[in-house]
Amino acid sequence: MQIPAAKHGVVILVDPPSVHYHKNIFFDLNTPLNRDNTLRANFNLKAKLEGAGYPVFTADCYDSIASQYLGCEFHYWSFGAPAVQALAFSGTNVKKVGVALFEPPLVKPLDYEKIELLAADFDHVYLHNVIGDGYKLPSSQLSKKIVKFYWTNKNFDNSYAESGKEKRLAKIALISGAHFAKAQPDNGYGKRLSAIKISGFKGDLDLFGFGWRKFQIRSPFSSLYWSVKLWMANEIVPKPDRKSDVYRRYDFALCFENMAMSGYITEKIFDALFAKSIPIYWGAPDIADYIPSNCFIALDHFDSIEACFNYCRNLTQSEKAGFRKSIESFLNSQEFAKFETGIHGLILNRYKVV
């Protein structure tokens, strides 16, 4: 393992969300886990920090490198690792600088139950909002440590320049894994399934993604139901290598967050925006505070999914072009800048690295 010099006496440890990213795979552009080049931001973060004299490793490397950085301080960042793991991490000269909760309470409820402990243990806790929407704020003294962060949505392989040669399908693309266990009518998992049922397999919506025809032990009945339904419709769900390859061929993209929570805005809507596919959005109730409302179609503005789909169906080419012009303006604006750098930008600022 290459050991960069710690010019400032500080080594940075990043704890990724899964063991699959251990051994520095979290920064590896060549791993199969780097779908849609999503690890590029981590790769760039490591490169910039190390270029400024701050060695960076995934936190599991601590034991193997500690003896080679005697006298250095180790700055620990939890990058979506389970809260219990972040709280348990310890070592000689380890300083717990920041913990980011990327997933919402619906996905990782136990993490949000431990916010008080996290705030006591870390310098800062980075959350989607600082108002307690979806979670309980810690005590007034510790609440000062709660910081709003933005999901990093820098435009990498999802970019797509309009060529004028490829005609888009006047349909809706949905790229989603088959998630059934948490699906309820009032969350994104359930609303995606409702949209598929409403459209049917030969209607307004085309489905892409992984796991749709597989039996799932955690959701035996739902997975069996959808497997049979797809089989009867003779529907093979394509698995795209890149989202942009799909979105650039469609007028619309279904972009439902996993749950509705203030400030919880992920890559879903941006993947569509980068490809100039008009997002049909559901999720953050304050989405228009971050992305101009003329860049997307808000599901909440309609009485039903059917009404929303009908609206999309009746848009003229001129109206669709208007959406795309607004999208282009937004992606080139200062409003987008905070999403472009996101949590990675916050970390670079912490160490005064440009």
pLDDT tens figures, 41-54:
999 999 999 999 99
- Confidence label for 161 from pLDDT (cuts 50, 70 and 90): low
CB atoms within 10 A of CB 336: 18
Q: How far is CA 97 from CA 72, 108, 207, in A?
A: 15, 21, 41
In whole angstroms, give the CA distance from residue 56 to residue 11: 6
Determine the Cα angle at 257 with ends 254 and 262, to 5°: 130
Residue pair 58/16 in contact (Cβ under 8 Å)? The answer is yes
Residue 162 has pLDDT above 80, yes or no: no
pLDDT of residue 35: 87
Mean pLDDT of the chain: 94
Percentage of residues in the chain having pLDDT higher than 70: 97
pLDDT of residue 8: 98
Q: Which of 26-30, 160-164, 325-329 has the lowest mean pLDDT?
A: 160-164
β-pair type (124-127, 146-148): parallel
What is the Cβ-side half-sphere exposure of residue 136, based on CA atoms within 13 angstroms?
A: 8
**Mean pLDDT to the nearest integer, 320-332:** 96
CB atoms within 10 A of CB 203: 13
- The amino acid that residue 57 corresponds to is F
In whole angstroms, give the CA distance from residue 194 to residue 191: 5
Residue 159 has pLDDT above 60, yes or no: no
pLDDT of residue 278: 98
pLDDT of residue 200: 86
- The amino acid that residue 146 corresponds to is I
**Mean pLDDT to the nearest integer, 291-308:** 98
- List of residues 6+ apart from 133 with CB closer than 8 A: 261, 262, 263
Residue pair 69/57 in contact (Cβ under 8 Å)? The answer is no
**Mean pLDDT to the nearest integer, 166-176:** 94
pLDDT of residue 262: 98
DSSP 8-state assignment for residue 31: S
Residue 266 has pLDDT above 80, yes or no: yes
On whether the pTM is more than 0.85, the answer is: yes
pLDDT of residue 157: 56
* Domains annotated on the chain, with CATH: 10-149 (no CATH), 169-334 (3.40.50.11660)
